[in-house]
Amino acid sequence: MKALILSGGKGTRLRPLTYTGAKQLVPVANKPILWYGIEGIVAAGITDIGIVISPETGGEVREKTGDGSRFGANITYILQEEPAGLAHAVKIAQPFLGDSPFVMYLGDNVIQTDLGVFLEDFKARHADALILLRPVPNPSAFGVAEVDRKGRVLRLIEKPKDPPSNLALVGVYVFSAAVHDAIAAIAPSARGELEITDAIQQLIDHERPVEARELSGWWLDTGKKDDLLEANRVILDTTLEASNHGSVDSGSEIVGRVHIGAGTQIRHCTIRGPVTIGENCFLENCYVGPYTSIGDGARLVEADLDSSVVLSGARILRVGHRITDSLIGQRAVLTTTQKKPKALRFLVGDDSQIELS
């Protein structure tokens, strides 16, 4: 079995951050989102992985992710010239996929459940497609499945105005080679894209075996700022282990699960976990509250923040405000000339400079 990870798209919902980088490489708990999917796929026993990339961000994905050896995998990169739909991504990947069954994984999704459980189910039932479903409060924002009382899939609808159920398609699918004929038989949707939901519906209409399973663990779709911050919170809450590879002075207080990377210096700070701090950072006279991730090489002086993601090389210097629920881009600089008692929320792109006065 092979795997196909979709890491194209323009990431418009995370702009301005994604004007300068791939949304799938934005870190959650100091690890690129894309890498969680790769690790989950390898853990399920699949090591032959294709990654669909775009012309705009494909170079960065290649550079940071490499040939797959760091994950124990072999990665093939597949260029999708334009974002023409999920089924189009499968279509252009057909030379890589061949006749092999495969997992299709959206690169900005993270799931908790072991993929191996679903792969075994797929094989045992000789299915042509297996979809994962999760109840959501806003099904109109997703592809939605209508199922009967036995759990059989009746139809799929992409972002319906009047949803037939609250069961959203999670961004992980398993297919046999039969999906290629299904994709060849469909036309672009009103959005001008080849929809994977239409391809699966084609299989259903031709009475091919399509199975559905409801996801029990968490599912995180990180396409928006608040979703990404929620993913950061959940992953820190469930996976972080305390460790200190840096330097913490006697004037600092570390409470709860906190990871401190090599070469990082902590001076006169209070840090309350879960918090992860990367390598070669410098923090002085700071309060860092729970659910915060700070990337490599960041510098924070007299900063007060919580529930935030600070990317590598960012600087937050003497901002006399509490920063909360924020996403600060790489090498961004936040400074202030005055202090006022209010909290601030930011979505700051890479290389930005913000001075509060």
Rounded to whole angstroms, how far apart are CA atoms 254 and 276? 12
Indicate whether 274 and 227 sit together in one domain: no
Model confidence band, residue 15 (pLDDT cutoffs 50, 70, 90)? very low
Give Cβ neighbours of residue 15 (< 8 Å, ≥ 6 apart).
Answer: 349
User: Which pLDDT score, from 0 to 100, does residue 14 have?
Assistant: 46
| Bond prior to 274 in cis (omega within 30° of 0) | yes
Secondary element (H or E) of residue 35: helix 33-43
User: Which pLDDT score, from 0 to 100, does residue 204 have?
Assistant: 93
User: Which pLDDT score, from 0 to 100, does residue 22 have?
Assistant: 72
Question: Which amino acid belongs to residue 143?
Answer: G
| Entry field: residues in the chain | 357
Rounded to whole angstroms, how far apart are CA atoms 134 and 188? 26
Indicate whether 204 and 340 sit together in one domain: no
User: Which pLDDT score, from 0 to 100, does residue 341 have?
Assistant: 46
Secondary element (H or E) of residue 110: strand 109-111
pLDDT at 188 over 70: yes
Secondary element (H or E) of residue 60: helix 58-65
Give Cβ neighbours of residue 91 (< 8 Å, ≥ 6 apart).
Answer: 180, 183, 184, 194
Contact 102, 180 (CB under 8 A): no
Q: Is 112 helix (H, G, I), strand (E, B) or coil?
A: coil
What are the tokens at 285?
């006279």
Per-residue pLDDT tens for 234-246? 999 989 999 999 9
DSSP calls for 173-226: EEE-THHHHHHHT----TTSS--HHHHHHHHHHTT--EEEEE--S-EEE-SSHH
Per-residue pLDDT tens for 248-263? 999 999 999 999 999 9
Contact 53, 61 (CB under 8 A): yes
Give Cβ neighbours of residue 59 (< 8 Å, ≥ 6 apart).
Answer: none
Indicate whether 196 and 127 sit together in one domain: yes
Q: What is the mean pLDDT of the chain?
A: 88
Number of domains in the chain: 2
- 320 bridge partner residues: 339
Indicate whether 82 and 21 sit together in one domain: yes
Least confident of 158-162, 252-256, 299-303: 158-162
Model confidence band, residue 343 (pLDDT cutoffs 50, 70, 90)? low
Model confidence band, residue 175 (pLDDT cutoffs 50, 70, 90)? very high
- Annotate 68-117 with three-state secondary structure: CHHHCCEEEEEECCCCCCHHHHHHHCHHHHCCCCEEEEECCEEECCCHHH
Indicate whether 273 and 131 sit together in one domain: no
- 7-11, 227-231, 262-266 — which one is most confidently predicted on average? 262-266
Cα 93 to chain centroid distance, Å, stands at 21
Residue in the structure block whose two tokens are 């036309």: 187
Indicate whether 218 and 253 sit together in one domain: no
Neighbours of 327 (CB within 10 A): 22
Indicate whether 189 and 292 sit together in one domain: no
Domain holding 173: CATH number? 3.90.550.10
Average pLDDT over residues 84-101: 95
Q: Return left, alpha or beta for 136; rule: phi > 0 is left, psi -120 to 50 is alpha, else beta.
A: beta
Domain limit, last residue, from 204, 235, 266: 235
Domain limit, last residue, from 177, 201, 235: 235
Indicate whether 188 and 256 sit together in one domain: no
In terms of Cα–Cα distance, which of 235, 204, 129, 140 is closest to 172?
129
Host domain of residue 246:
242-356
Per-residue pLDDT tens for 22-43? 778 888 899 999 999 999 999 9
Domain holding 270: CATH number? 2.160.10.10
Least confident of 41-55, 62-76, 113-127, 327-341: 327-341
In terms of Cα–Cα distance, which of 223, 229, 292, 231 is closest to 18?
223
What are the tokens at 276?
């992860």
Rounded to whole angstroms, how far apart are CA atoms 137 and 163? 11
Indicate whether 227 and 137 sit together in one domain: yes
Give this prediction's pTM: 0.86
User: Which pLDDT score, from 0 to 100, does residue 337 have?
Assistant: 63
Indicate whether 67 and 95 sit together in one domain: yes
Contact 311, 350 (CB under 8 A): yes
Rounded to whole angstroms, how far apart are CA atoms 104 and 97? 11
Domain limit, last residue, from 190, 214, 235: 235
Evaluated on CA atoms 212, 214, 215, 221, the torsion sign reads positive
Indicate whether 201 and 252 sit together in one domain: no
- 317 bridge partner residues: 301, 335
Per-residue pLDDT tens for 129-152? 999 998 888 888 888 898 877 767
Higher pLDDT, 336 or 193: 193
Indicate whether 334 and 220 sit together in one domain: no
Secondary element (H or E) of residue 232: helix 225-239
